[in-house]
Amino acid sequence: MEDFIRGIPKAELHVHLEGTLEPEHIFALAERNNVALAYKTPAQVIAAYDFHDLPSFLTIYYAAMSVLQTEQDFYELAYHYFQRAHEDNIVYVEPFFDPQGHTTRGIAFETIIKGIHRAQLDAEKNLGIESNLIMCFLRDMSAESAMAHLEMCLPFKDWIIGVGLDSDEKDNPPIKFTEVFARARNEGFKLTMHCDVNQTDIVDHIWQCLDDIQVDRIDHGINALEDERLCAEIAKRGLGLTVCPVSNRFVVQSLTTKEIKSMLQRGMKATINSDDPGYFRAYLTDNFLALIEEAEFSQDEIRQLNANAFETSWLSAARKKHYLEQVNNFS
Ligand code: ADE
Ligand code: ZN
């Protein structure tokens, strides 16, 4: 089973590039850019990763971003992730990036996206990893700021496949961004939003994603299981749900294996993802291995979870078919 999990071709649809910053890399970048850190060693950094909910994680996540300053820094951030993804037999990725985490520190949008884009080209050429980028808005910032960043990205429109919504969900519902996402759809972007686990009003937030925003995918979305009608609608629309088991364990103390199985049984397209692997210390294969340690998953279920990721990706029909053949023929 472990060999099967390691070897099967994988797609990852929920990974924040800034969440792939490894402690050693934080130190190297801090030294290169003359940024003072509160820690003396990478081990001390890991020891400080004491997350128990979403805000306690986000505080550390945003603080570490200060080491990212030049185009080369963003290139290295993304390229390191692609190298690590290659070890997990990931062949396709739709990674997130958080421009507002950087523009608010005076970094130009162009610096961020050019570095990431160059890494994507090199990953495809050197590692055979295909990728399409998703730009996330920070939901604890204003809708005006989100709109300004949507406009800022338009000169680079061909380098971005979709837009998402992340950061602190409390009191920041999807409908705060209805206009921004409507404009994004008109510009040709695919739409997704975080519906993080066990947040206040989370079932309402998921309904808003369907009814008001008309998302093409849902990030996390575990709490949909509390509402039968919502589950049926998600299954009917064939919406992917990007579940992140180890991340869930940090914020809600559960790998949510029961919920993942329940989604599969209902025909909901659950997928497995790493979210912020540099912080949660688990890349994609580690997430699958954690699942089988806690619960019984058959090879067919693991295959289904991987097939769901390719099916609900934003690849062309021809590319999906190409990858799905590899997944379905893998043994
Ligand atoms: N930004 C980075 N990781 C996140 C997560 N797990 N939830 C919400 N926003 C995030
Ligand atoms: Zn996330």
Domains, the chain, ordered by start: 2-329 (3.20.20.140)
CB contact at 8 A, 224 and 217? no
Average pLDDT over residues 221-240: 98
Q: Which two tokens stand for residue 245?
A: 């088991």
Q: Which ligand is nearest to the CA of 280?
A: 1
Residues within 6 Å of ligand 1 by CB: 16, 19, 54, 61, 166-167, 194, 196, 247, 275-276
328 contacts: CB under 8 Å, gap ≥ 6: 303, 307
Dmax over CA atoms of the chain, in Å, equals 54
Q: Which ligand is nearest to the CA of 248?
A: 1
**Does the structure show a pLDDT above 90 at 218?**
yes
- Can you tell me the distance from the alpha carbon of 93 to that of 35, in angstroms, rounded to the nearest whole number? 30
Q: Which two tokens stand for residue 206?
A: 């998921």
- Tell the residue nearest (CA) to atom 8 of ligand 1: 167
Work out the mean pLDDT of the chain and round it to a whole number.
97
Q: Using a CB cutoff of 5 Å, list residues around ligand 2, an ion.
A: 275
How far, in Å, is the centroid of ligand 1 from the Cα of 296?
A: 28
321 pLDDT band (50/70/90 cuts)?
A: very high
**Does the structure show a pLDDT above 90 at 251?**
no
**Does the structure show a pLDDT above 90 at 299?**
yes
**Does the structure show a pLDDT above 90 at 223?**
yes
Q: Which ligand is nearest to the CA of 101?
A: 1
> pLDDT of 105-135, one tens digit each?
999 999 999 999 999 999 999 999 999 999 9
Burial of 273 (0-12, 13-18, 19+ CB in 10 A): buried
**Sole residue written with tokens 């550390």:** 60
* CA neighbours closer than 13 Å in the CB half-sphere of residue 136: 24
